[in-house]
Structure 1
Amino acid sequence: MRKLDIDVGYLRTTLLELLAIPSPSGLTDEIVHYTGGQLERLGVSYELTRRGTIRGTLRRTLPERRRTSPACAIVAHLDTLGAMVRAIKPTGRLALMAIGTWSARWAEGGRVTLFTDTGRYRGSVLPLKASGHVYNEEIDSQPVHWTQLELRVDQPIESADDVRALGIQVGDFVAFDANPEMLDNGYIVSRYLDNKAGVAALLAALKAVVESGVDVPMDCHPVFTLTEEVGSGARAVIEEDVSEVIGVDIGPVAAGQNSREWGVTVPLMDSAGPHDYHLTRRLLRMCEEHGIPNHRDVFPFYHSDAGAAVSAGADVRTALLCFGTDATHGYERTHIAALTHLAELLAIYLQCGPTLPEDRARVRDSVEHFSHQLDADQLAPVSGTTLPEVGELIDLPEAGARAEEAAEPAPLADDDASAHRGEPRAD
């Protein structure tokens, strides 16, 4: 496996195009069309669920007579935060309800497009007390809450009847302008980098792998979900052939967090609990071996597509790869270097095969070849209390052996070994 060159121009252009397409959860058809078109141009086949979740397939390139390797999935979400019309006020202003979990603080002052069943209108989201000339210091003491906001539509409106005459109704979608800026120093500032920046990085990684012609040792499914921001995401799209799932998403940069706006952030745990021990540490080793800057972190208030897959009952190893971003779910800022390094790591991962070759079997009837996380030295007694030697209870690897095993894949079965040598297999 080798580090591939990432087309940074493609990554930038793709991100801007994604940001130009409004896609709050529930209004995602158009961005599905765009993403499907990108996969077609890259030569990556895909299928759609009824609602439009995309499940691509990058086929393994090694010759084979039969499938013996599990598949992997790399998941990024296309949906963003947004709002919906909750009520039409007598004044003609519109009350809003948030789509996704985000603070009304970030909605104040936002320029938006309101989509009706047949058209669209422009407007601004304002606090109820929006004029200092009228309310003076009261504007500074108004609470921060969605009930303290209203949408002013840029039409001649003085009453609820005027609103209804325009075809505006309760339940209409409201998409906030992304307002992206790409600066010469590499910083990118915009709404909705979560997760359009992650999608752009994944597409750039696929482009690098396809165009380089490197071997892909197991089927990989790039998956693009539509409801991550409202909690479901990848709950119904991970097939049984998948043994490991990597979520690609935003990494919060703030006091108390270890994420940074450069390099790749590898969270070891989020709200769903710890990610898989072996997969996360394998990704960290890849970073070290290939010179990719990386940061370990844990996220206390965070949900992802990887966690959604496990909560839906998928028996998969999970990991999360993030681009560090300041002011998440607000006016977000990351750096092009973080997205480039993320794409580099994803492209390396696609060349590697399963984390543990024994994951070919969905169910095993013995612990004989099951993985270890700790070795004999780590489990040696550390107190005066007499305990049985753990090495007498189970067959433990020698100290340091786990690292050696992780560095070299386990031997393949005879038919797999012949495939790696390029030899034909006997039926």
Structure 2
Amino acid sequence: MSLCSCIMETCRVRRPHCSTMGAVLLWGSLCLTGVWSLSGPNEVTIPYGETLSVVCRYHTDYSTHSKYWCKGEERQSCNVLITSDNSQMVINGRFSIVDNQESHTFTVTTSGMRPKDSDTYQCGIYRFFSDTMFPVKVTVLPGVCKKTSRWASLVDFPTSFTYIKENEDVEVSCQNRFESRTFQLKCRQEYDEFQLYQDHVQIPCIERCRRLTSWRGNVTIYPEQDYYDPEEEVTLTCSPGYEPNYSKIKCMRGNNTNIWNETEVFCRQKIYPPKKCRRLTSWRGNVTVYPEQDYYDPEEEVTLMCSPGYEPNYSKIKCMRSNNTNIWNMTEVFCRQKIYPPTSPPYIKELTESSWRKVLVSWTFGLMPPMAIKLMTILTIVTVRIFSIIRTRYKSTQEAVVMSERSSQQEMTNVYSEI
């Protein structure tokens, strides 16, 4: 401020009708130690709704003077908003002031600044002749909307986005964990606050199916990703010897969200189906089977056959189910020499010694007749043999007697002839 301006301003404020000489006399006591002994920011720009804080610095000569904060360009019309009280903080509604006499500064704060609060304010010090004042131009920006935690966790903003003003729009897109979608957010004021709102009342982003944490054990999936779209299927696999409880699961649309049709997914030990009956190695000798194959199903029968002169120990065997497996009802399968049953003995009137030997061998040492038949046969043969011996001896005795009688008769005849 120029010297002349200082004098004229002082004369106008304190002595409206003072002369030029009076104004000059007041210069030393007012202007020199007044205006030049108070300073602060010339301009302050503040966003909508934030708290204004202005620090004014004064000369040490004014430490005990009261300070104030007023709104207006001229002293007569400057509306005092708050006045200090020594070093105590004074609060008046939205305004507060505190005088730090040690640092020779006083700080004025105003909360909840609005565009209508834009104006010229004054840092003031009360003096006897003329107050010392310093103008501060305050500009409050219009209401703006910034990123909030709600939208920042749902959508991706343009990289250049910082804020938008009231009634302006910004285009955003749902984050990767949601279904792909782009829409507009508008900056609107509600309840003294500016927030980003969606034009239409609906769920802005629908979450995709997320890979379950339980899958991160021994379950592997294809395709492997963190999020899946509706109707997308994944194939589940496990480590060797294990199998998943579901081979595939699908992401399904639920109530304004997407969920898996099955949520309990895990690996379990694999249960193999019972093995079929396998052709036994002993069959690969002279045993032949019908039908001839390497494996047989449960309840399937096979017929056993052997080469001529031999017979199987079982005509048929069957594949049977037993304790989650399949086994043959008979495992010892082989061919044995065929034994024919003996023929019935013919009616013999007279048996020679060789004939009796044959009968004795065939009926006594045969393998098939029962023991009772064998015993009866032996007794019969012995009886017949004894009878034959007795008969032969009897015949011999009779023949000897006859021969003796004939010899006696011949001798008698010879005697009579001699006589």
TM-score range, shorter chain: under 0.3
Q: TM-score, normalised by structure 2?
A: 0.17
Higher helix share: 1
Greater percentage in strand? 2
TM-score, normalised relative to structure 1: 0.17
Larger relative contact order, structure 1 or 2 (CA cutoff 8 Å, min sep 6): 1
Larger Rg over CA atoms: 2
